[in-house]
A and B are shown apart, each in its own frame.
Chain A
Amino acid sequence: EADIYQTPRYLVIGTGKKITLECSQTMGHDKMYWYQQDPGMELHLIHYSYGVNSTEKGDLSSESTVSRIRTEHFPLTLESARPSHTSQYLCASSPRDRVDQPQHFGDGTRLSIL
C-alpha cells in the first residue's frame, strides 16, 4: 500500500491569503510531483522534484511554488490566493523515474478561493 498523505483534504479560503498545501510520504521515495486537476478535466503536472533541494516546473504554468527540504515532505505554497487558483491539487511520488515504475498518489486537496 502506498503511504502518501495530503492535508487538508478540503480548503475554502478568501482571496489574498497565503496557503500551504502539505504532502508527505513515508516510502523514502526520491521523486515527488504535484498535479493540478479541474473538475472533470485532465491532470496536469505543475511541479516535480528529483530529491532534496531539487525542484522543477512542470508542463502547466502555475503561480505556486514548492520546496523540498526533506525527502518525505513536498509542500506547495500560494503566496496570495486568487479565485483562478480554485482546483484540485494532487501529490504523487515514485522511487525512481524508470518508465516501468508507477507513481503513487495522495487523495488530493480540493481548494476553493472565494
Chain B
Amino acid sequence: DAKTTQPNSMESNEEEPVHLPCNHSTISGTDYIHWYRQLPSQGPEYVIHGLTSNVNNRMASLAIAEDRKSSTLILHRATLRDAAVYYCILRSSGGSNYKLTFGKGTLLTVNP
C-alpha cells in the first residue's frame, strides 16, 4: 500500500485558516485520498475525500496537487472544536480496499 507522510503536529489560531499537508509520492492512479479526524475521546470521523480534482464540503476543502503526490486539507476558519488528530489515508481500488490504514496523523492544536 502506498504510504503517506504528515507532520506530527501543527498549531493554529482560532478563526484563521489551517492548511494540513500530506505527502504521498508513491500514490497510484486509482488511489483515493481520504481524510479523517479523531477528536479527543471519540472515534475517527470522515472529513473529505478526492481522486484528482479539488473537493469542497461543509467541513473542509481538499486541494490535490496536479501530479497527485501531495494534498492539503484546508479548514477555512479553525474553531476550538477542530482540535484533533487529522489522518491522511490512501485507499486503493485493488487488493485490500476494505480497510483503512491509519498512520500517526497530525495533531492540530487550535489556540483561542
Contact = CB atoms under 8 A, between A and B. Distances in A.
A99 B91 contact: yes
A42 B36 CA distance: 13
B26 interface: no
B49 A100 contact: yes
Contact of B98 (A35, A43, A97): A97
Given A99-B91, A99-B92, A105 B99 contact: no
B43 A108 contact: yes
Given A43-B102, A99-B32, A100-B32, A107 B42 contact: yes
Of the candidates B36, B51, B99, B102, the one having the most CB atoms from chain A within 10 angstroms of its own CB is B99
Of the candidates A42, A99, A105, the one having the most CB atoms from chain B within 10 angstroms of its own CB is A99
Interface in A1-58: 31, 33, 35, 41-45, 48, 50, 58
Interface band, chain A: 20 to 34
B76 interface: no
Interface band, chain B: 20 to 34
B99 A42 contact: no
Contacts of A35: 102
Looking at chain B's contact residues, is the secondary structure mostly helix, strand, loop, or mixed?
loop
Contacts of A66: none
B97 interface: yes
Nearest to B93: A99
Nearest to B41: A107
A91 B43 CA distance: 8
B43 A105 contact: yes
A45 B101 CA distance: 8
Given A43-B44, A45-B99, A97-B97, 16 more contacts: A35-B102, A41-B104, A43-B102, A44-B102, A92-B44, A97-B98, A99-B31, A99-B32, A100-B49, A102-B34, A102-B36, A102-B49, A105-B44, A105-B45, A107-B41, A108-B42
20 contacts: A33-B99, A42-B103, A42-B104, A48-B98, A48-B99, A50-B98, A90-B43, A90-B44, A99-B30, A99-B91, A99-B92, A100-B32, A100-B49, A100-B51, A102-B46, A102-B49, A103-B44, A105-B45, A106-B43, A108-B42
